Chain A
């Protein structure tokens, strides 16, 4: 019990962020029209590409002789970039189609 309370105490900032972000995430897209479901999914897909930052940290911290970390890290950077760049470009292409009509 005490260890759980200690954990909450030590990580309270992170826990606050998690809880608030859950509400923000739900609130922010609550009224999306069904027309925008696909582009919104695609946009959210690009945003979770933020995992690339972890990949960059792994790659940038890999020691010279640690080939496992280097290879996996490199692969992670490539895949993460695909997610980010591909995600934003595809979303833009979808939305471009809507824009012309205005």
Chain B
């Protein structure tokens, strides 16, 4: 009887994952969808704890103290860190949690392989080993994918919070492929000869190394794509667990995320008009990009504008378009930005936001951030809409955005971001760029826009500048 209930639990879990994911892709139902999936997950977890029986011995699970201890510790840390994290740090949080899932899958593989090698030590007849081979294959696959996902996510996390710098050397791609090839070769050998269990640790180390080296050379601007890809990797690793235990809910959940994650990765690449291969091998922001732009860094002079002048042109404008970028997120300036919008609106200025699909560190990052500051949905323009409205805009205020307004994406075929759709801010009458310094953006390339005659630079931290700007406009 209990096994029938467990099957039902897993069925409910699988259905809620599909329904939840479907609801998550629709703005009105998204939040409910998240909870639907969470409820299904809880049912599946509780069902496993109390109803799962080992297929061989028929015994229920034991070690309840350990299980609940782990659940409680993980639950508390997870809830607290997710509640405390600032909106700007959300992307790295997702990466961190993704890494935890990958590590979990890798650990399961380690323990299960230990069981297998013990079983072989007791009975090493050929038939028994042949029977275990598919199991070993799944275990090793889970180990490789889980470790790559863990190591890669940790590096992505470190990159997004600035702890890890871009790093690449000549022939890195080839070295990476060699590591991966050796790991896969070792995995193949291990499946063939499962007794040779030290190989498992070789595979583990190589997979971790591969994960690190795979993400290290990729620039921060491409991190969302990488995280999304690693996310689908972890999905596949979870599905390996599903194979291993013949567990349908792990299988459906894992494959579902693996497939959806892959599609999402491709959609994100499309938003930037780049191919996945280009992101992974073309290592944006690596040495090549800096070298290519080195020649153009000395071109022209930029023009600065004072706060009071900025306040002046903005309060006498008919229409102001704000282009938010990562600088706004880092400075936590979304609230004061909304304040500026309100002050200007009171003065009869039309204020809109132009949101580039990949502004910030993740697609949709700016929408989340501005929504937090109560900015109305209707004032957020997507790229196509915004590009239509720039020609009727008097002042464009760029807050810490760089690559998404770089005209080189249109004009310079040698530029690493060539082909990425950008916001045509130059159609507007005046462009004011707020940045902390003249340093290039995350892609590591110079922005010609800053040297154009229409453009003026307003240096400083976004939050500080906006506060001063609000005060100036109020007094004017």
Contacts and interface: CB of A to CB of B under 8 A. Distances in A.
Interface of A: 7, 14, 17-18, 21-26, 28-62, 68-70, 72-102
Contact of B37 (A29, A59, A88): A88
Given A38-B90, A41-B228, A14 B20 contact: no
A89 B250 CA distance: 21
B111 interface: yes
Interface string B39-65: 001001100110010100000111110
A-B pairs, 8 with minimum CB distance: A81-B74, A60-B61, A25-B259, A77-B70, A86-B78, A85-B78, A37-B363, A54-B241
Given A43-B33, A87-B82, A97-B87, 7 more contacts: A21-B251, A41-B228, A46-B34, A53-B249, A54-B241, A90-B93, A100-B371
A93 B368 CA distance: 10
Given A44-B235, A79-B74, A38 B41 contact: no
B256 interface: yes
A68 B111 contact: yes
A79 B104 contact: yes
Given A29-B260, A41-B228, A52-B104, A86 B97 contact: yes
Contacts of B111: 58, 62, 68-69, 72-73, 76
B371 A101 contact: yes
Interface of B: 13, 17-18, 20-22, 24-28, 30-31, 33-35, 37-38, 41, 44-45, 48-49, 52, 54, 60-64, 66-67, 69-71, 73-75, 77-79, 81-83, 85, 87, 90-91, 93-94, 96-98, 100-101, 103-105, 107-108, 110-112, 114-115, 134, 224, 227-228, 231-232, 234-235, 237-239, 241-261, 263-264, 267-268, 271, 357, 362-365, 367-368, 371-372, 374, 376-377, 382
A56 B67 CA distance: 7
A48 B105 CA distance: 10
A43 B253 contact: no
B256 A60 contact: no
A48 B45 CA distance: 13
A96 B374 CA distance: 12
A17 B255 contact: yes
7 contacts: A26-B260, A35-B364, A41-B362, A78-B77, A82-B74, A83-B100, A90-B82
Contact of A74 (B30, B69, B237): B69
A56 B41 CA distance: 13
A25 B255 contact: yes
A65 to B, nearest CB: 12
B398 to A, nearest CB: 20
A5 to B, nearest CB: 14
Contacts of A93: 82-83, 90
From B20, B101, B365, name the one whose CB has the most chain A CB atoms within 10 angstroms.
Answer: B101
Contacts of B115: 69
Contact of A32 (B261, B267, B367): B267
Contacts of A83: 78, 97-98, 100-101, 104
B271 A34 contact: yes
A36 to B, nearest CB: 6
A69 B114 contact: yes
Nearest to A10: B134
Contacts of B114: 68-69
Contacts of A43: 20-21, 24, 30, 33-34, 37
A21 to B, nearest CB: 4
Contact of A38 (B63, B91, B105, B247): B91
A18 B251 contact: yes
B78 A82 contact: yes
B24 A36 contact: yes
A78 to B, nearest CB: 4
Given A38-B368, A88-B38, A44 B264 contact: yes
Contact of A48 (B74, B257, B357, B377): B257
